[in-house]
Structure 1
Amino acid sequence: MESYIPHRQRLWLYILVGLVIFYLVVPTLIVVPVSFTSTTALLFPPPSWSTRWYEAFFQQEKWTGSLWVSIRVGFGTMVLATVTGIAAAYALHVSAIRMRGLINWTLISPLAVPSILIAVGIFFVYAKIGGLLNTITGLILAHTVVAMPFVILTMAAGFKTYDMTQEMVARSLGADRFKAFMTVTLPQLKFSVATSMLLAFLISFDEVIISLMVSSGPVSTLSRVTFSTLRDDVDPTLAAVSTLMLVVTSVPPLLLHIAANRARRKNA
């Protein structure tokens, strides 16, 4: 039996964790007030407050166009990565083949490979095939390569906590494997599925290295345009863009976490 450690003895750990969180979060949050500055320079704290840079964002075609591209690519990646990732995780979970470990390692290997190597590899493949560079389809396929491993890992964890005998009962009552999976297994893993979908979308929305290699012009994503603008010209519009991306990448996971906790309390 593990001995109980009083909170007072763990105070140093709480302080250390708090300092680490402070170090990681505060520099990011500084961008938020900077985005509301009324001046043309990046000043903190802002001398006065204004929403002019958010208005500038929505009035410039390069920003709104790239935002629309990112949303389309994000949703496309979310659908493709989630469907293929769930299918792969399920197949690996129920399979008994000897090479299951090797197949699983191969599917999640993009997590261990630097993004620049993946981007260069995809670029040369697209150049060889033709027709995929600077296209929405090409971006979706490329982003799926890096998003699918997260789906596989998330769903694999979900399948490990699920009792597969429930699906077997449904099949014994006449349902085929696909119907049993869709009507019995998948609904009980809804939060794993939702997490997988959200991760796939956010990974695609934030991806910049692959986007730099395989897209340009009217097919540029928001992250790519942000990177290019940061290199060529710095103005508070970048802070407004960063704040919007911060909201997109932080609020949905928080809401999903709250919903999952409420569902867990109801089932407890």
Structure 2
Amino acid sequence: MKLPAHAEPLERIWRWIYLAICVCIFIFLIAPVLIIIPLSFNAEPYFSFTQKMLALDPDGYSLRWYKLLATFGMAQPDAPFGIDWLKDLWSNSTWFNAAKNSILIGLCSTVLATVLGTLAALGLVREEMPFRRTITAVLLAPMIIPIVIIATGLFFFYSNPCGIVGVDCGRLTSTFMGLVLAHTALGVPFVVITVKATLTGFDDSLARAAAGLGASPTQTFFRVVMPLILPGIVSGALFAFATSFDEVVTVLFVGGPQQVTIPRQMWGGLREQVSPAILAAATILILVSVAMLTTVELLRRRSERLRGIRP
């Protein structure tokens, strides 16, 4: 925001101080993330900048760690590129299998969290809904309670879900479905918040007009309500996917040996075999996060245009 022409010298000085404080805060927040990107191109197996990197020598930079992400665990990583190499990558690559698990678990949990969170938000915005504040607080609890406590509770609950009544229903721990349900519980609050915020500014007269024209409640929702709140739903889904994609504590407690995700693989790599390949994986995750944030911002601007709001 520009200062008016009649601004006093003290106001101009404070503006520059304010901008300097904002820049310092931005650097403090973003520097630990940005420093990972150049380190992932280090030609040497170090987690620090080498002399060649500081001198911008091309020999100090390499894509070897990105290649290692694809070939680590493969039976024949040096084989010529072709169908057999791709089959080996799909079946045996450690990091590629972790990426498959992360994406599959993230998509499944996102779908469940989006459906459940949207339904909950539709009910919580109604004035006649009893105990709205209490229900909202319960739904948002996974965002406030420390994740290690939630993971511990999920572990004991999923170990014997019907043990309360003395009936052994089997175990959900160390299963794909158990991990999906756990990530769904973590993603629902984000969907509830975004969809509820979108519904708060929704014009109810549009739904009443559709009902007056003979539309059923289902038709009203899918043809009138949903197109207008779709940016909020998609934003909530993206946050739920990001939560599932980045989660490691729940995976350690609930997941089994077959449910190794990218964060769990990175955690294991830091404990067992420290390799700059972890930095390469982190760089890819940063790019994915930037893409998600860009999508959320575009959806927010689209929602403002649909409502006639100009930034």
* TM beyond 0.5: yes
Q: CA deviation at 1:154?
A: 0.7
Amino acid at match of 1:180: T
The question of whether the paired residues in 1 share the 8 Å contact of 2:228 and 2:303 is answered with no
The question of whether the paired residues in 1 share the 8 Å contact of 2:139 and 2:189 is answered with yes
Q: Does 2:14 correspond to 1:14? A: no
For residue 112 of structure 1, what is the aligned residue in structure 2? 144
Give the TM-score of the pair, scaled to structure 1.
0.92
Structure 2: unaligned runs, 5 residues or longer: 54-59, 73-92, 162-169
The question of whether the paired residues in 2 share the 8 Å contact of 1:133 and 1:214 is answered with yes
Q: CA deviation at 1:20?
A: 1.1
Distance 1:103 1:157 in 2: 16
Q: CA deviation at 1:81?
A: 0.5
Q: CA deviation at 1:7?
A: 6.1
For residue 255 of structure 2, what is the aligned residue in structure 1? 215
Single out whichever of 222-231 and 172-181 deviates more from structure 2: 172-181
For residue 265 of structure 2, what is the aligned residue in structure 1? 225
For residue 157 of structure 1, what is the aligned residue in structure 2? 197
Out of 139, 148, 154, the position equivalent to 1:122 is 154
Q: CA deviation at 1:262?
A: 6.1
Distance 1:148 1:41 in 2: 40
The question of whether the paired residues in 2 share the 8 Å contact of 1:66 and 1:218 is answered with no
Structure 1: unaligned runs, 5 residues or longer: none
Give the TM-score of the pair, scaled to structure 2.
0.80
Amino acid at match of 1:70: S
The 5-angstrom pairing of residues 32-47 of structure 1 reads 32-45=37-50, 47=53
The question of whether the paired residues in 2 share the 8 Å contact of 1:65 and 1:218 is answered with no
For residue 82 of structure 1, what is the aligned residue in structure 2? 114
For residue 50 of structure 1, what is the aligned residue in structure 2? 62
The 1:155–1:8 alpha-carbon spacing in structure 2 relative to 1, beyond 3 Å, is farther
Amino acid at match of 1:108: L
For residue 173 of structure 1, what is the aligned residue in structure 2? 213
| Aligned residues with identical type, % of pairs | 30
Moved runs in structure 1, 4+ residues, more than 4 A? 4-8, 262-268
Question: Partner of 1:235: helix, strand, or coil?
Answer: coil
Instruction: Name which one, 1 or 2, has greater alpha-carbon Rg.
Output: 2
Question: Partner of 1:36: helix, strand, or coil?
Answer: coil
Q: If each structure's helix is expressed as a fraction of its own residues, which one has the higher value?
A: 1
Which structure has the higher relative contact order (CA within 8 Å, separation 6+)?
Answer: 1
Spell out, residue by residue over 1:14-45, the C-alpha distance to the aligned partner (whole angstroms, 9 max, x if none): 21121111011112111111111111222225
